[in-house]
Amino acid sequence: MLTIEQIENAILQLPSNKIGELLEWFLNLDYQRWDVQLDKNIAEGKLDALAAEAIADFESGNYRAI
Residue 19's identity, in one-letter code, is I
| Angle, CA of 11, 4 and 40, to the nearest 5° | 105
What's the mean pLDDT when you consider all of the chain? 96
Provide the whole-model pTM: 0.67
Per DSSP, which regions of the chain are E strands? none
| Cα–Cα distance, 56 to 17 (Å, whole number) | 49
Check residue 55 and give its pLDDT: 97
pLDDT, tens digit (0-9, with 9 covering 90-100), for 33-53: 999 999 999 999 999 999 999
